[in-house]
Amino acid sequence: IGCDHSQNLVDICREKHYQAFVCDALAVPIRSGSCDACISIAVIHHFATAERRVAALQELVRLLRPGGKALIYVWAMEQEYNKKKSKYLRENRISQGKKEEISSDTSVQELLVKQMPDVGNQDSAPSVPSINDFQDRGCNSREVTNFKLPIHTNRTSFHCQDVLVPWHLKENPGKGKPIEPFGPLGSHDPGPVFHRYYHVFCEGEMEAACQTLSNISILQSYYDQGNWCVILQKV
Amino acid sequence: MKLLTHNLLSSHVRGVGPRGFPLRLQATEVRISPVEFNPDFVARMIPKLHLVEVPKEPIQGYEHDERFLRQMHHVLLEVDVLEGTLQCPESGRLFPISRGIPNMLLSDEETET
């Protein structure tokens, strides 16, 4: 059974004949201890605070029966590891010569994010992050009233753990669905651009977050194509 | 939404806890679709189910009772609720089922901390 906050993504599961429902990963409407295994793939890196990321882990573990296992994948800050670039970096369409020119002047565009008390959870993919959840975290970890997040330049390395990643919705005459999430840099796309919040994880960070839970043991912890991955077991 | 799925779902309204199960199902549109019978899968799912009505005589050796497994298979996997509602038995909160998909999102006030 699958679940996601996005109705549209769940619709796609349904089209493929999978059982799925819409819910919040911090409040999963499944009986405690009923799952032999859970997977959380590219989810937890969308939560904007450390507390919420841990809360998402707690929910995941709540669902497991004792002895049940969970697989967690989150985006890594380190997109190049052991001298190998991840697929995300390698699929950069800009030629090597031009890449430096672009990253020096456009990689730190800042989007002013103000505290807005009545922004509720938005449904649909991709969605604007819940702005009222941001705390004073950023590259500098200073207290700021107007919180700034850098807009990441797609297919380049991360310079900051908390970023907004552009997502180009391409108009496809056949379906109205996006062809690819990362449009080529510098192209003139007619479609809208959405900025999706990510907290990319440093080496060991996901493990440390898991270790705050008292009822699990970490079976494996590894790096896979630009992701930090953990397999844990509920004791 | 298959009935197997329904049996795993529980209301997450704040303060409700284990009293959020089972969700009362009202189906306005149901479809029966054939699903390939996998006796091992059905046998493994049966102990996971929270059955409100338990038969007086427990079925011994149900894992090998093909007729029983086929009946459970039909009920759990071949009945698909396309439209309807799920209701929290404790709070009364209604969750819609639309195009076979339950929407279990709560508002911020309703979410358990």
Q: Which residues pair with B2 in a beta bridge?
A: B80
Residues in B closer than 8 angstroms to A15, CB to CB, are none
Residues in B closer than 8 angstroms to A14, CB to CB, are 99-101
What is the C-alpha to C-alpha distance for residues B72 and B34, in angstroms, rounded to an integer?
A: 13
Is A209 domain-assigned? yes
Quick one: which H or E segment has residue A181? none
Residues spanned by the domain of A166: 31-87+149-170+192-234
Is A223 domain-assigned? yes
Is A41 domain-assigned? yes
Pick the closest to residue A121 from A6, A19, A3, A214 (CA basis).
Answer: A6
CA of A127 vs chain B CAs: smallest distance (Å): 15
ipTM entry: 0.90
The predicted pLDDT at position B15 comes to: 86
Residue A20: partners with Cβ closer than 8 Å, 6 or more residues away: A1, A2, A3, A4, A10, A13, A14, B101
CATH code at B3-103: 2.20.25.10
A67 touches chain B (CB under 8 A): no
DSSP A217: E
Nearest chain A residue to B11 by CA: give it.
A29
Is A61 domain-assigned? yes
Mean pLDDT for chain A overall = 78
pLDDT of A177 > 60? The answer is no
Answer left, alpha or beta for residue A158, where phi above 0 means left and psi between -120 and 50 means alpha. Answer: beta
DSSP A214: T
Is A51 domain-assigned? yes
pLDDT in tens, B11-35: 998 888 889 999 999 999 999 999 9
Size of interface A-B (CB pairs under 8 A): 64
pLDDT in tens, A88-140: 888 776 544 333 333 333 334 444 443 333 333 333 333 334 343 344 344 44
Determine how β-strand A216-224 pairs with β-strand B79-87: unpaired
Is A126 domain-assigned? no
For chain A, the domain total comes to 1
DSSP A32: T
Is A130 domain-assigned? no
**Up-side HSE of residue A107: CA atoms within 13 Å toward CB?**
13
CATH number for the domain harbouring residue A200: 3.40.50.150
The predicted pLDDT at position A135 comes to: 40
Token duo for residue A86: 């991840």
Specify whether the CB–CB gap between A167 and A196 falls below 8 A: yes
pLDDT of A182 > 90? The answer is no
Segments in chain B below pLDDT 50: 56
Centre a 10 Å sphere on the Cβ of residue A14 and count the other Cβ atoms it contains: 17
What residues does each domain of chain B span?
3-103
B45 touches chain A (CB under 8 A): no
DSSP B93: -
The predicted pLDDT at position B9 comes to: 96
**Up-side HSE of residue A190: CA atoms within 13 Å toward CB?**
3
pTM: 0.78
User: Under DSSP, is residue A21 helix (H, G, I), strand (E, B) or coil?
Assistant: strand
Pick the closest to residue A86 from A235, A191, A229, A230 (CA basis).
Answer: A229
Give the total residue count for chain A: 235
